[in-house]
Structure 1
């Protein structure tokens, strides 16, 4: 039977008409690529600027102050603490700085001695191998600039000694691996919960729930518990795989990562149910979960590049993305090993986000139950 262009045209019109009736799916299909293009265009940057930097000046001389001023004049470092009482190792442990400079007491005197190099020490957080290399390069370049200024009147040298903390070998796997664990378990718990919820609205079975004796809270917790168990199984398998195939092992107290995993999966499940209640269509739920739970986590969580590189106008979005905090927790568990001292805030943030997403899903269910 010959192909008829009119039938092809009629089928095309029918598909477009059906798509036009589903305004939510059409909106997502049209505007999500635009939003993603903006994210990739403005948020992706492999440069490292405004590095949180601490300086312990034990020399306290005009020469050491001029050395510090050389760091201040660059746009690469943001000096958050300086002075003789600054504890650089403690600030590194807390994650407050990415690097620190220690100027010894004999710095100025050694510079004045001909033929002798003055030594300073820089401590760099090696958790992020790429950033650590860049920070070390910036510090070396800044030191060279300081030396060049001194050579106007003498030929004195400054010898910079670097020491990398947590990841001295700058192994990329120790940076990528923990972050990949967080991203791996980001998508499926909210996707499964969102699809299950949207399916009930599509098929009309949600009316049976509204007509039953179940309260909105019971329905929400019962549904969330099932997908939370699935998510926790994923967490277990992923961590086991990281140990067996990549050699990643806990280097400190494991209790923060255990508690945070419970909260992280809860965030995803409650968010998925909330999206399922709002979309009510499985195809739209898939798009919404893929964008909010996966792509935003991939782009704005600090997995690929530092959050400080994201423009201020959209950087605030990362504050409500659970993956941002969970990645910091996995990197501490597998690389830094500081424990509760350095990551208590991340656990608190996940607790607040899980509570917020639960409230949003519960409020939506209550509202729809009253309207039915």
Structure 2
């Protein structure tokens, strides 16, 4: 039997998670850029190098309230001549035998090499005497001690925080060029799905995947575009996919449901009919096996399982890094750490097994993990009640209480 259709010469047979992520990364490119005012830039990804336009501070400034003086004169009484306040121009030089009252942020006058804090100065009229405990060359911030003109302050690929915004402002910039937010079209498939609760309807399965995925896209820096629920009809799904492709304003298409190989799973065939080039059609993981990724005419397409828990777990593993790559920040690594098992676990099968569970604290203060008894892939109540996921390799033997296990804490993946 021949190999499955390939992208860039790679087989699309079921890869491990790490290999699937590598294939996905190879096909994703950062979206375009836009200039933003600094106060709108937090959370966005810098698209270029920014260098300081000036020295900061541009002149030596006082770091404390006190008296600016020449340390060589500190042993004798000094005559206080003038006041330097923040915002004042650089004043006349400090002459021998004199000092100047100075406030935090004020320019240090020429000739002064020390600011003595006011608590260590004894003042009588215009006379100032420096008390024991004062130190030479203290409490002055030299020109350029924060930044030098030409110094790089942010690099491409950095996700900007308020700290970066402050540094960019100090460097003399009023805006920054960032990657725009990736636009993600989202659809759910299934005749059984309903958009909203209807009290008079006896049977209804409410669509949880679409609102959840839209929320995750927003939380992870993208802009969701809602394509609605598409019935299990090849023509309807193909038409919706074609509209998304023709819109020209989509950076990633995400579907949930219909990606398996059942009689009414039409996502795969519909994608193929539109020229889908798969990087993979399944992943060696549980839950989340029915996850696919590839491109149609250059548009990346991520197909997630229909079961709610499987869809969310796959979104954490694949959608989160995809959005990070599209936003120009590189692949967002899964935030794994080690815990010890609070309860034993059975052997795993031929796929990486991902379990929901509760965290606790061990005798040494480290985290413990207890798997939920019910690991049903459709039960969101268990996922909502859990604190973390445990990742166990394929074909792992039974694990005993106290053995180590890799976990992903939900509080380390904001928005999940």
Answer whether TM exceeds 0.5 for this pair: no
More relative contact order, 1 or 2 (CA 8 Å, 6+ apart) = 1
Q: TM-score, normalised by structure 2?
A: 0.20
